[in-house]
Amino acid sequence: MWHIDQNGAYSIVKKHCEPDELLVRARVLDDMKRLANKLNISEAAIIETPRADYLYRMTVKVSAFAEYLSTAVFEIDYRNFKTSLPFETQLDKKRAQAYSAVWSALHHLQQQDSKLKR
């Protein structure tokens, strides 16, 4: 599963972990640090994997990640996700640009889908 929010962009899979755990992967260290903070997990749990597709990974309890997602849903207080993103640092700005590119790619897919249904 992919999950994108104000804290970061994550790939969550069931791989190399215990039955009650998930492997969360991220491309940006700051994203993973934010998530670790939200989950009350030490940043020392973040593993750097230079030869892997995702540079950073961390094993988390399924229940903790489910609670994180649930909390994120209840904390939605914006009308437009893209405008809710922070723009305080250069990394924030780059993250917002990346999210916008994802939005654009999915919008393009929507347009293609609409054309195929005609």
How would you class 33 by CB atoms within 10 Å of its CB: exposed for 0-12, middle for 13-18, buried for 19 or more? Answer: middle
- Tokens found for residue 94: 């780059």
Largest CA distance in the chain: 53
Q: What is the pLDDT of residues 77-110, one digit of tens each?
A: 999 999 999 999 999 999 999 999 999 999 999 9
CA end-to-end span of the chain: 30
Amino acid at 61: K
pTM for this entry: 0.90
pLDDT digits (tens, 9 = 90+) for 28-46: 999 999 999 999 999 999 9
* Enclosing H/E stretch for 109: helix 90-116
Contact 92, 83 (CB under 8 A): no
